[in-house]
């Protein structure tokens, strides 16, 4: 009965939080290759596994016009015992789109970092996906994707 309640609660939480994120977990705990039961894997989707981190991004794409700049908040979920700084990098930026700062750090006590996404006057119009990587001082890097939509001026 208890496990059924846990599964139901986990499914409800996944439904509220959302799933299908392209992100991967990072940190020293992400390298452990333990075999887990289906229930443990489901619980890991709801809570952050010990000694790991994952990067959170806005659910909706950042919408901006050529020549505009918008603030985007990149968050971090920290598992128990994960208190490292995480250095972010942004790859596969579309033509004419920049992120400032280019390699921000989410400090060990912080929950997020704000970056400015700028579309130059000649930025590529359309929907784009920027690859986000977060490298802790130890262990595997975490990844996710930031969606950006650029419209004509």
pLDDT at 60 over 50: yes
Q: Nearest to residue 140, comparing CAs of 15, 42, 23?
A: 23
Distances in Å between the alpha carbon of 72 and those of 60, 109, 117, 137?
Answer: 11, 19, 7, 24
**pLDDT of the residue at 62:** 94
d(CA 56, CA 137): 19
Question: pLDDT value at position 51?
Answer: 87
CA–CA dist 69, 92 (Å, integer): 18
Q: Sign of dihedral through CA atoms 18, 24, 30, 34? A: positive
| Dihedral-angle region of residue 123 (phi above 0 means left; psi in -120 to 50 means alpha; beta otherwise) | beta
Mean pLDDT of the 84-105 span: 97
For the CA atoms of 48, 49, 53, 56, the dihedral, rounded to the nearest 10 degrees, stands at: -30
User: 45 falls in which pLDDT band (50, 70, 90)?
Assistant: low
At 49, list the tokens. Answer: 């596994």
Average pLDDT over residues 120-140: 96
Helix (H/G/I), strand (E/B), else coil: 11: helix
Task: Report the length, in residues, of the chain.
Answer: 153
Q: Residue 35 — very low, low, confident or very high, per pLDDT cuts 50/70/90?
A: low
Contact 90, 130 (CB under 8 A): yes
Mean pLDDT of 52-62: 93
Tens-place pLDDT, residues 69-84: 999 999 999 999 999 9
Q: Domains in the chain and their CATH numbers?
A: 2-151 (2.60.40.10)
Position 68 scores a pLDDT of 98
Mean pLDDT along residues 27-40: 61
Q: Is the pLDDT of residue 121 over 50?
A: yes
**pLDDT tens profile 7-25:** 344 444 333 333 335 687 7
- Enter the pTM of the model: 0.74
């Amino acid at each position: 009965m208890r496990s059924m309640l846990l599964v139901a609660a986990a499914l409800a939480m996944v439904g509220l939080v959302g799933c299908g994120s392209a992100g991967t977990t990072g940190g020293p705990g992400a390298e452990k290759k333990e075999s887990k039961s289906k229930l443990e894997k489901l619980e890991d989707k709801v809570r952050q596994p010990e000694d790991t981190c994952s990067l959170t991004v806005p659910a909706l794409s950042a919408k901006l016009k050529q020549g505009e700049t918008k603030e985007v908040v990149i968050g971090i979920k920290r598992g128990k015992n994960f208190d490292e700084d995480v250095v972010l990098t942004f790859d596969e930026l579309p033509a004419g789109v920049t992120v400032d700062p280019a390699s921000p750090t989410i400090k060990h006590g912080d929950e997020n970092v704000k970056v400015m996404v700028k579309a130059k006057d000649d930025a590529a119009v359309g929907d784009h996906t920027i690859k986000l990587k977060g490298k802790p001082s130890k262990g595997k890097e975490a990844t996710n994707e930031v969606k950006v939509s650029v419209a004509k001026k």
